[in-house]
């Protein structure tokens, strides 16, 4: 049996060895920096910063008898409301010394940079992966921009959003779980992820989201049962400009990915290849490294809005694609597997568009809905196209009969507006009105007469003054409203002139 003295000896030897290494490093820097009185530097900056036992090695040396402040900070360029935001900051003081000193500082980043989004504690993870590390030595104890003696800056990187671990908040989670109301909980079956069009440029950027955890016991139990026999549906709209960005060597580009913080692929993943065919990857268990993939035979057309319905029902999935130009001729594809898929929508992070693993296609994606625990049928999908709810009007909509009727009406109103605007300037305005033209006092008197007739309830309202009043109010109305009003008044005026 090994005695306790043996461990004590090993521990003392390790401490002594580390101390000798530290002394050797400082002695080397002392010889190199003997002629430099003040010195700061950061050694061994990690390639990616996170909160899992990351230390920064700071070397510094001061020549002043008074204290000098040394500040270490990690900043990001901007958030939604602020610029140059510090996500980590430390400072200390130094005095005159002939030797280079070493300080080890543990990195503790802001939780919005270090951890993934968490709906239970209302934590939104910032999708920022680059920052600046700044090491500054000031002339005195105060942190003043005018008193900077030395300054170093380095570019640093953070973990991508889908690789960040969950937030470890043991203090607040029990309190939050206790305060959750058990009556009338909001457990939506359909979750709207994207409402307005999301622009995808073919790069490594997109939208990240996590689905909220169920609070109801019955729903949680049903979810656990369906994890090995999943049922869900994902409905979204696509407008494809390019299947893969020009100049990219990627074989396939991403539409939807499901990953963990360590790049473990989860069910489902949807991609586009360079021919426009959809590729679906599904996985049979949690850490399935291979998974099963399938590809559609038909391709999604470019330059057209298409509704894609991806439906999974236990061991098979279906895809229905309806495009506006061929709405009554959908593209259908299905795949049957010999095993069940594994799916837990509360685990991992969903990525819409590109990431550091795969870039996105080039185009738009909009109105993405996820039906949790529900596998729809094709008959349950909307059979008619509702133009009023379209996220983006493509060229095919402008060629429809209903849209042409509106465009023709608007064009006629605009022409009448321009024509009558010119006529009003020539005949019915004076110097005091919005159109400064040289008009006689008689015409100004006519305008005042019309106004008196308008205020008089017994007399009829002159049509010319109504037109003039509409023009005066055009700054308070939109051009469309003024055009519609002038169009109606123009017809009445032309009839009265005849």
Confidence (pLDDT) at 97? 85
Angle at 254 between CA 252 and CA 256, to 5 degrees: 145
- Helix/strand/coil (H, E, C) string of 320-383? EEEECCCCCCCEEEEEECCCCCCCCCCCCEEEEECCCCCCECEEEEEEEEEEECCCCCHHHCCC
d(CA 375, CA 202): 31
Does the pLDDT value for residue 142 go beyond 70? yes
- Minimum mean pLDDT among 77-81, 220-224, 276-280: which range? 77-81
Confidence (pLDDT) at 179? 47
Report whether the peptide linkage leading into residue 443 is cis, meaning its omega lies within 30 degrees of zero. no
* Confidence label for 181 from pLDDT (cuts 50, 70 and 90): very low
| SS3 at position 288 | coil
Q: How does pLDDT run across 184-215, given as a tens digit for each residue? A: 556 888 999 988 788 888 888 888 889 988 88
Confidence (pLDDT) at 88? 94
Measured distance between the N- and C-terminal CA atoms of the chain, rounded to whole angstroms: 120
* Confidence label for 331 from pLDDT (cuts 50, 70 and 90): very high
Provide the CA 97 distance to its chain's centre, in angstroms: 50
Q: Which residue has the higher pLDDT, 90 or 116?
A: 90
| SS3 at position 18 | helix
Same fold: 25-159 with 186-398: no
* Confidence label for 254 from pLDDT (cuts 50, 70 and 90): very high
Handedness of CA 303, 304, 305, 308 (dihedral sign): negative
Does the pLDDT value for residue 183 go beyond 70? no
Confidence (pLDDT) at 73? 94
* Confidence label for 457 from pLDDT (cuts 50, 70 and 90): very low
Mean pLDDT (whole number) for 262-269:
88
Burial (CB count <10 Å: 0-12, 13-18, 19+), residue 351: buried
Confidence (pLDDT) at 232? 95
Q: How does pLDDT run across 399-438, given as a tens digit for each residue? A: 566 667 777 777 777 787 777 777 666 655 554 444 444 4
| DSSP letters for 389-448 | G-SS--HHHHTSHHHHHHHHHHHHHHHHHHHHHHHHHHHS--TTSSS-----HHHHHHHH
Does the pLDDT value for residue 441 go beyond 80? no
Confidence (pLDDT) at 155? 93
CB 231 within 8 A of CB 313: yes
Average pLDDT, the chain: 78
Mean pLDDT (whole number) for 294-309:
91
Confidence (pLDDT) at 395? 46
Does the pLDDT value for residue 234 go beyond 90? yes
Q: How does pLDDT run across 116-137, given as a tens digit for each residue? A: 877 667 777 787 888 999 999 9
Does the pLDDT value for residue 237 go beyond 80? yes
Handedness of CA 476, 480, 485, 490 (dihedral sign): positive
Domain ranges of the chain: 25-159, 186-398, 401-497
Mean pLDDT (whole number) for 309-333:
92
Q: How does pLDDT run across 71-83, given as a tens digit for each residue? A: 999 998 877 667 7
Give the class (CATH, top level) of 186-398.
Answer: mainly beta
Mean pLDDT (whole number) for 165-172:
64
Confidence (pLDDT) at 458? 46
Does the pLDDT value for residue 354 go beyond 60? yes
Confidence (pLDDT) at 281? 93
Confidence (pLDDT) at 178? 47
Mean pLDDT (whole number) for 160-167:
82
CB 151 within 8 A of CB 135: yes
Confidence (pLDDT) at 330? 92
Does the pLDDT value for residue 277 go beyond 90? yes
The arrangement of secondary structure in 25-159, i.e. its CATH architecture, is Sandwich (2.60)
Confidence (pLDDT) at 169? 55
Among the listed residues 161, 190, 212, 223, the one whose alpha carbon sits nearest the alpha carbon of residue 352: 161
**Cβ neighbour number for residue 151 with a 10 Å cutoff:** 12
Calculate what percentage of the chain has a pLDDT beyond 90. 29
- Report the predicted TM-score, pTM, of the whole model to 2 decimal places: 0.49
Handedness of CA 464, 465, 469, 472 (dihedral sign): positive
Does the pLDDT value for residue 152 go beyond 90? yes
| Pair of tokens at residue 203 | 């790069």
Confidence (pLDDT) at 176? 47
Mean pLDDT (whole number) for 87-116:
90
Q: How does pLDDT run across 51-77, given as a tens digit for each residue? A: 888 899 999 999 888 899 999 999 988
- Minimum mean pLDDT among 110-114, 142-146, 197-201, 439-443: which range? 439-443
Mean pLDDT (whole number) for 251-268:
89
Cα Rg, the chain, nearest whole Å:
34
- Minimum mean pLDDT among 48-57, 239-248, 454-463: which range? 454-463
Among the listed residues 229, 176, 187, 177, the one whose alpha carbon sits nearest the alpha carbon of residue 211: 187
Mean pLDDT (whole number) for 81-99:
87
d(CA 66, CA 93): 10
């Amino acid at each position: 049996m090994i005695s306790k003295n043996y461990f004590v000896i090993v521990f003392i030897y390790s401490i002594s060895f580390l101390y000798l290494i530290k002394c050797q490093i400082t002695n080397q820097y002392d010889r190199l920096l003997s002629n430099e009185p003040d010195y700061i530097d950061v050694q061994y900056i990690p390639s990616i910063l996170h909160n899992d036992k990351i230390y920064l090695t700071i070397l510094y040396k001061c020549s002043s008898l008074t204290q000098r402040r040394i500040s270490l900070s990690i900043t990001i360029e901007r958030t939604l409301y602020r610029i140059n935001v510090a996500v980590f900051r430390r400072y200390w003081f130094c005095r005159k010394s002939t030797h280079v000193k070493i300080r080890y500082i543990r990195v503790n980043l802001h939780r919005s940079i270090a951890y993934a989004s968490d709906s239970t504690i209302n934590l939104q993870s910032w999708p920022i992966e680059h920052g600046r590390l700044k090491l500054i030595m000031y002339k005195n104890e105060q942190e003043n921009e005018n008193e900077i003696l030395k300054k170093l800056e380095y570019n640093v990187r953070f973990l991508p959003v889908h690789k960040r671990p969950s937030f470890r908040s043991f203090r607040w989670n029990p309190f939050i779980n206790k305060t959750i109301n058990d009556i009338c909980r909001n457990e939506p079956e359909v979750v709207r992820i994207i409402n307005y069009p999301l622009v995808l440029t073919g790069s490594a950027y997109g939208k990240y989201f996590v689905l909220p955890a169920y609070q109801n016991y019955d729903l949680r139990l049903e979810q656990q049962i369906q994890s090995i026999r999943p049922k869900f549906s994902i409905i979204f709209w696509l407008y494809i400009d390019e299947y893969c960005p020009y100049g990219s060597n990627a074989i396939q580009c991403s539409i939807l990915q499901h990953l963990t913080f360590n790049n473990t692929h989860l069910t489902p993943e949807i991609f586009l290849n360079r021919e426009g065919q959809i590729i679906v990857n599904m996985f049979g268990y949690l850490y399935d490294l291979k998974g099963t993939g399938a590809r559609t035979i038909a391709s999604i057309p470019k330059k057209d809005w298409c509704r894609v319905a991806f439906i999974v029902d236990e061991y098979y999935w279906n895809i229905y694609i309806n495009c506006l130009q061929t709405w009554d001729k959908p593209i259908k594809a299905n795949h049957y597997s010999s095993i069940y898929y594994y799916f837990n929508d509360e685990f991992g992070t969903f990525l819409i568009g590109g990431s550091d693993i795969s870039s996105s296609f080039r185009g738009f994606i909009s109105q993405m809905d996820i039906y949790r625990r529900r596998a729809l049928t094709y008959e349950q999908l909307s059979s008619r196209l509702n133009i009023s709810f379209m996220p983006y009007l493509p060229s095919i909509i402008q060629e429809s009969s209903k849209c042409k009727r509106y465009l023709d009406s608007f064009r006629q109103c605009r022409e009448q507006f321009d024509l009558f605007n010119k006529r009003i300037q020539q005949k019915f305005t004076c110097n005091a009105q919005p159109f400064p033209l040289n008009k006689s006092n008689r015409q100004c008197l006519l305008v005042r007469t019309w106004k008196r007739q308008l205020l008089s309830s017994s007399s009829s309202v002159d049509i010319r003054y109504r037109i003039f009043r509409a023009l005066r109010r055009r700054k308070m109305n939109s051009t469309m409203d003024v055009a519609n009003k002038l169009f109606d008044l123009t017809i009445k005026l032309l009839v009265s002139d005849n």
